[in-house]
Every structure is written in C-alpha cells, then in structure tokens.
Structure 1
Amino acid sequence: MSTGVFDAYELPDGVRCLQMLNSVNVCEGFSVRYPSLDDSDKDVLVKLLIEGNAAIKNMPVSEIIQAIGKVAKRFMDKDDPLRHEALEIMVPTAGVSSEMAETILAGMSADWTGEKLTELLEREFASPAILDCFQRIDSGRSQMAYGFTFNLTVGSGTVPGVGVTALIRALLLKSSILLKPGLGDVALPVLFARALREESEVFRKCLAVAYWDGDKERIGDKILDKAGVVVVYGSQETIRSIRNQIPKTTDLVAYGQRLGVGLVGREALSEMEALQTAQKVAMSISTFDQKGCVSPQVLYVEQGGEVAPVDWVKVLASAMDELEKQLPSGALSQQEVIGVQQLRAAIELKQLAGTGVLLYKGTHKSWTVIFDPELSLKWSDCKRAVYVKPIADLMIAKTLLVDSENCLQTVAIVGAVSRKENIAASLTQVGVTRVTSFRQAPWPKPWWHHDGRSVFQGLFKLIDVEDIID
C-alpha cells in the first residue's frame, strides 16, 4: 500500500463517536490515525471494559479458544480479505518488506490456532476447565484460576504480532483488556480485535485496542488506577516510567529489551556443513529484520573446525546477501540510514588500522557482517547487523557474557550437540533462559518460559476451597 490511512483503534460498544483524531505519518503517503482521549473518555472506556468483564467471565474457555482460533485461521487463509488487509498494512506500519510481512504473519498466526491454545492451557493448568469452575486438585481442596478484571497491556511495537499474543493471553484468562500497541505493531492487534467482535457479542464489550503516542500522552490515572495488572513490553526507561505511575498495589509484568546471542560449534563448520550452517544463521538474524528480542546480534564461532571462523564469516556474508534477495529487508528511516553509515565508517577505520576487523556489507545498507577478533561483547542496534567473534571453546562464552546478565535471554546454538546441555547449564550463570536452534530462535512455542517464567505468570490468581473439617 503506497498511500492510505489506517485507523489504529477498536473500542467497545458504548464509547462515544470519536470526533478528535490525531494522525502520524509512518512513511511517505501513509498515515495512522488514533483517538484523542481525554480523562472523561478514558473513564468511560475503563468503566465499559470492567462492566463487560462479566460477559467473558461467563463464557466457557472452550468457546473463547474456538472464537480466537477462527480468527487465526482467517489470517492463515490466503484467500481471506482479512489476511490481505493485514499484509497490506503491515508493510508501511511495521516498516517491513511484503515478503517479510508474509513470513511474520505465517509464523505468528500458527501459534494462535485453537489447537495450539488448547495445548498451551493444558501445559499451564491441570485442566483448562479450571478457568471455568472449581476443579478437584487433591484430597483436601478444589481450585479455580481467574484473571484480573481489567488488564492493561502496553506494547513496544518492535515485532508485529506480539500485541495479538498478549491480547490472547488476557482473553484466555477471561480478563477485559486495553491493549496499547506500539506504532510498529498496530495492524495485527486492531484487525484481530475487529474480527473477534464479529465472532461474538462478548468481545464487543471486554476488548479495546488503541494506539497513542506515548511520548506525548501519558496513559493517565483514570486507566492505571483501575488496572488489576499492567503488562509492559519495552525499554527499561519505559518500564521504569510506567512503574512510577501505577499504584503500589498494582501488579506489574515487565518484558524489557533483550540481547540475542548465537553460538556456532566447530562440528557445524565442516566443509560440507559450513554453508548450511551459514544459511540457518542468516535466516535467524534476518527474521523480523533482527528487531526481536530473540534475534541473534552477536555470534561466537568456535575454532578448530574444518572451516576457520575468519573464513566462515565470508560464507555467512554470502548467505546474508542471498537471503536479502529472497526476503528483503524493510525500508530504513533516515535515522536508521545514518546509524548504518556511522557503524560502517567506524568499522572501516578499524579495518584500515590492521586490527584484524573485517567488514562485509550488502548494497543499500541492507545487511552488515563484522568479523572482530576482540572477544568482548559488542552489538549494534542497526537492522541485520551482526558481530562475529572467534572463540577457542564455547564453554567460555559465559565469561564473555557476564556483564550483560540483565539483558540476556535467548541463545541459539548449532553444532556441539553432545555438549549442548553443559553449555546451557553454564549459561544459567549469566541469566540465559532459553537455549535453542537458530531455526527455532525466532519462533518460541506459545508455552515457552518468557524471560524464565510462565507466559501467564502475574496475569491470574488461584483460589482454593479447602475441605472443611470441624
């Protein structure tokens, strides 16, 4: 879509006709509109969501799953107009190529199906029915799980689809939710909410999605004071700001920025496997244009294989270039262009100084691969930019990551099959919570332990009814 306007909100029935709309240009010829909500509007919005919670509380969880699953199938159906609209709007709003939009939508929507959501609840609870009524769990008590009446979720917008996943988690727990997505993730949550409203009257009462510019407009006490739980995705600055605004009695679930790391074992660097390894790594780096918290930004490549790290980096550069033809990166903003220019200029100076640093780059600033023999941890905020560092033994990776313990999460690994668990155990000392393959790194399962905890942790409570013994 080269020109157009997208209304980035979907509000409950009963919210007055919005006369005041703000607008932001996300690219040349395309803008996003969003409501200007004053304190009175926010008060009404929250009141409606809280009142509407009774409807979803009375809805069997199986029916909630069924409705969500139907919408997910629409996003997967290549003939469905909803899918076409989503792909069309993702390109300008998320800043990705059409090919990347298809890849993201396919990967995300596969985890929103009824089958996957049923499995998620079965893994998290003894029975999904525990969300509907009391279930006998042992000889002394019955138990029921219930979500907060009102869930406020603030998204970061770096990866499209994350907002939908957060929205689904709240609805499965029968919470009313107000989702404020980031600008890069407005398309899928808004369209998903609109489609859900068509599936059941219940979702017309308990669900709201609305973007606004968080830098210019605070969430406001009218919303924060009523939330039972506040979920925040974003920078430490964003998390700290919202934590300071909410009442001390309100639960906060925060997902901060994370640094992705990749480990390449010598076993994956044989003459026969080096290219395939590079292709897997390139795909893992390039998915989401490397904007996800699961995206590898620095690689430690083990010495001692048939192909040395300094030679393998050329293979990786070739794989990145080939992938750019199949899965092009999105258009860069002016600020992003300047960032790439500065990064490459700095690396070129080091290369000329004979430090052993090598620079490989794609045309139009599409990707950047840096070979750096200095082992200290470095990374770049540029898209599709990765540091490659040679290492004698993957087991010493933990010593190089120790200063970044607070921002580590996912480590992708290839090769070293027989050593994987020992390496993973060592990485627990620096805060790593997920070790996986490069192929799986961009696509964690719905039931993964996000930052080491259940995806539902902090979003619900349990009530026990104990057997009364007089």
Structure 2
Amino acid sequence: MTQQYLVNKTYFTSERYPENIKQRLLSTILQTLRKNRERYLAPLSTEKILSKLNQVVKHWLNLQSPIRQKAENLLTQTTGCSKEVISEGLDLAFNEVRHLFLRKNAKILSQFPRPQLSSFIFGGMVPTPMLFDIFMGLLLKSAVIVKTPSRAPFFPILLAHSIYEVDPSLGSCVKALWWPGGKWNLEKMIFKEADLIHAYGDDKSIKEIEALIPPKKIFIKFGHKVSFSVIGKEKLKGPLHLLAEKMAYDICLYDQQGCVSPHVIYLEKVNFLNPIAWTRALADAMEKMTRKFPPGHLSLGEASLIHQIRGQYSLREKTLCLSSHPNPNWTVIYEENPEFHPSCLNRVIFIKPIAHIKNLPQILKKWRGNFQALGYAVSPERKKEVERISKSLSIPFLLPIGSMQNTSFKDHIEERLNQLRNN
C-alpha cells in the first residue's frame, strides 16, 4: 500500500471513531492530506472529480447499497430522528448534488478561493450542509479535514469512506474525525495548517473558535439561525389542504432541528377566510404527515416542555392550540401576537396573522441577521415583494413552501461567497 493512501487506509474505521486523538497523530494526518492532494487531487481535472463524486452519489441513492443502509441505521440511532425522516433527508441532499453533476456545472465555484487544505467544524445533525461542504472542498481541489458533530458523527465518516471505495486516491484526500469539544489544542493545530476554516455551532462556540483563528486565514462561520414562512392572501383561495401538506412537510423533516426549519408561519389576513380554518387544515396535515414521517424519540425533558407549552397556550385568550394530545408528536398554535419567538422544536409550530406581508421587516427587525431561510407561498407577481423582505432582513435562503429543506448547492456556495465579500 502506497503512502498516497495512508489517511483512510491506516486510520479509518466506519463503525467507531477515535476518542483520544493525540497531537502527533493529527499532525501526521494533516501532513499526509496535503501530500495526497499534491500527488493526486491537484492535477485532477474538475470533470474527473465530478465523475468520481457522481459515482459516490449513485451508491448513496441506491436504497439497497451497504453504505446507504448503514447510514440510515447509524443516523437513526444517533440523531433521534426516525428512519423515514433520515431516508427522505438523504434523498433530498444527494439528489441535489446529482442534478449538479448531470449538468456538469461546477462554474459556480470559479469565484471561490483555492485552499490547499480546508477544515470543517460541523455542528447539528442535518447531512445536507456536510455533504455540500465536503464535495465543495474536493471540487476546489482542496484536501479536507472534518471534525464531525457529536450528534451525527457518522455521516461525514461514512461519506469519506464511500469516496474511498470509489477511488482510494480521492478518498485519501478526505479525513473525518471526532473528539470531545473544548480540546482547543487540536483545533489550534488544524487552524494553523488549514487555508480555509469553516465552522458551525452556537454563537458561544463560534466566538471561541474565531479567537483561535490565525491572521490571514479564510474563515467562514455559521452560528445559530432560525427560519419562518409567509403565506400571501391570494394563496388561501384554493383548497387549503394542498398548501397545508407542503407546510407540514417542511416542519416534520428533521423534527425542526435544521436551521432552515420553520418556527413561525405568518398568514396574511383575508376577509373570506378565518385564519382558524387554516390552523385546522395544518393540524390535519401534520397528523397525516406524521404517519408518513414518524417523529423521532424525545427525551422526558423535551416531551415535558411540549406539554407545558400546550398548557400555557390553551389558557391564553385569542389563541388556539391543536395537537396530537396525549402524545407529543405535533403541536399547532395560533396566536394573534405577531412577535417572533423560536419554537421549542420537535414539530411545534406557531401561526400568526398579519395585515400585510410588507409589515414583516418592522415586526422582525430585532431578529435581522438571525434568519437562515424564508419560506414563501405567494403569487408570481408578488415574488419581488418577498425578495425585498428577505434582503431587508439579511436572509440568505428564499425557498418555496414545501421545499424549505431542499436548499440548492448553488445557494450554499453563494451564501459563503457573500460572507467572504462582506469580511
């Protein structure tokens, strides 16, 4: 076995990940990644990289493939989401990059810096951004070092393994590791060696990481973000169940654990429809969607919090709380106070009526810069209006209701380019 294949052949294991990584081992891995990149990845054409990654995608989209079955089982165990939700999420993510590869279109990366070694500190448990980032790194002809998230450590490891199975040389340019948080000596070593540092986490973690970044490094950061949806009055004229089912899909996928999951739905008031009717339609859709995509396992604390919130809103005036009582599967709460406040997650959604969608920038001004996505259902002629709202609130993703979890690779790259331009 040649030195070229050292990283994944010597240190890789798909079932377990090392908990006691030493600095010497990490140093060897980082240096080997750089050497592997110089020997193999740097001379490789973008078309060749696309072709090899497309083979990886085909394995992941094959429901009978060993890598797909292992991923579904391990992600179900570690994330708490149901297997049906995990399977749907994997299909969405890998189909998006498959479409990119079918178009042979990697031109979107032409404006991006060309790091020799990219590091990714992942957080959360949604696989889409992890997939996009690792593929982005390889398409930039950069070696990739990943610190996996504690809640979903296996996805990046399995993805690296699947790349290695298709092409050991390409797979030896990627390494995914996990170690407990707070061991800053290891992060410092990575930050010193990497040209691009990409970090996800809560705001506290991001600040701690930023303080460790050496000067002149490319640093892209993503702290805690939330999302919401808006429905224009013209979309309430037709059958309510169709739009309600799309909305329920966005809420149920990943049990609202992703940053593009909606917390609040703003409903434009109309004379011909009582907003309570929409609330009931969404409740029916949530029950239906729960049968298709069962909720994940909740801790006693999470279930208790949901029951507590239901009790609070059931006692308030001008509110309506509909739910899957006595179980905590889903909760739909209508209230007339338009102020935004985050959901406790796990399929708890708020519906709030507003006079006009143009009022949203004023209503949400305190949250400007803290939103990741705006889901919308409006007529084509009002799309510009929603775009202005998104721009005024600095929201990177503008997505149709029913597709909030289906972010595009193009939008993913553009969000990072915008951050680099503004730095």
| Alignment TM-score > 0.5, same fold | yes
Selected match of 2:345 from 369, 382, 386: 382
> Which residue number corresponds to residue 92 of structure 2?
107
> Which residue number corresponds to residue 24 of structure 1?
none
CA deviation profile, 1:208-248 (whole Å, cap 9, x unmatched): 01122224665332222111111012211121111111212
What is the DSSP-based 3-state SS (H/G/I as helix, E as strand, rest coil) of the residue aligned with 2:346? coil
Amino acid at match of 1:392: A
Establish whether residue 44 from structure 1 lines up as the match of residue 41 from structure 2: no
CA distance in 1, matches of 2:288, 2:182: 38
1:255-266 mapped onto 2 (5 Å cutoff): 255-266=222-233
More strand by share: 1
Establish whether residue 13 from structure 1 lines up as the match of residue 6 from structure 2: yes
Establish whether residue 198 from structure 1 lines up as the match of residue 183 from structure 2: no
Establish whether residue 307 from structure 1 lines up as the match of residue 307 from structure 2: no
Indicate the structure (1 or 2) with the bigger Cα radius of gyration. Answer: 1
CA distance in 1, matches of 2:143, 2:29: 11
1:61-210 mapped onto 2 (5 Å cutoff): 61-113=46-98, 115-116=100-101, 119-125=104-110, 147-210=114-177
> Which residue number corresponds to residue 228 of structure 1?
195
Amino acid at match of 1:116: F
Establish whether residue 403 from structure 1 lines up as the match of residue 363 from structure 2: no
Q: 1:422 to 1:146 in 2, by over 3 A?
A: closer
Contact residue 183 and residue 211 of structure 1 kept, 8 A: yes
What is the DSSP-based 3-state SS (H/G/I as helix, E as strand, rest coil) of the residue aligned with 1:220? helix
Amino acid at match of 1:322: K
Aligned-pair CA distance for 1:365: 0.9
Identity %: 21
CA deviation profile, 1:278-313 (whole Å, cap 9, x unmatched): 111111111121112211111110111532212211
> Which residue number corresponds to residue 404 of structure 2?
441
Q: 1:450 to 1:440 in 2, by over 3 A?
A: farther
What is the DSSP-based 3-state SS (H/G/I as helix, E as strand, rest coil) of the residue aligned with 1:225? helix
> Which residue number corresponds to residue 292 of structure 2?
326
CA distance in 2, matches of 1:305, 1:75: 49
Contact residue 189 and residue 209 of structure 1 kept, 8 A: yes
Alignment RMSD (CA, Å) = 2.7
CA distance in 2, matches of 1:118, 1:34: 38
> Which residue number corresponds to residue 318 of structure 2?
356
Contact residue 433 and residue 449 of structure 1 kept, 8 A: no
Aligned-pair CA distance for 1:91: 0.8
Amino acid at match of 1:406: G
Amino acid at match of 2:131: V
What is the DSSP-based 3-state SS (H/G/I as helix, E as strand, rest coil) of the residue aligned with 1:298? strand
Aligned-pair CA distance for 1:408: 1.6
Contact residue 65 and residue 114 of structure 1 kept, 8 A: no
Selected match of 2:302 from 320, 330, 336: 336
CA distance in 1, matches of 2:173, 2:11: 19
Contact residue 160 and residue 184 of structure 1 kept, 8 A: no
Q: 1:61 to 1:427 in 2, by over 3 A?
A: closer
Aligned-pair CA distance for 1:115: 4.4
What is the DSSP-based 3-state SS (H/G/I as helix, E as strand, rest coil) of the residue aligned with 2:222? strand
Q: 1:408 to 1:191 in 2, by over 3 A?
A: same
Amino acid at match of 1:226: E
Question: TM-score, normalized by length of structure 1?
Answer: 0.82
Question: TM-score, normalized by length of structure 2?
Answer: 0.90
Contact residue 118 and residue 137 of structure 2 kept, 8 A: yes
Contact residue 7 and residue 175 of structure 2 kept, 8 A: no
CA distance in 1, matches of 2:150, 2:102: 26
Selected match of 2:41 from 48, 51, 56: 56
Amino acid at match of 1:160: P
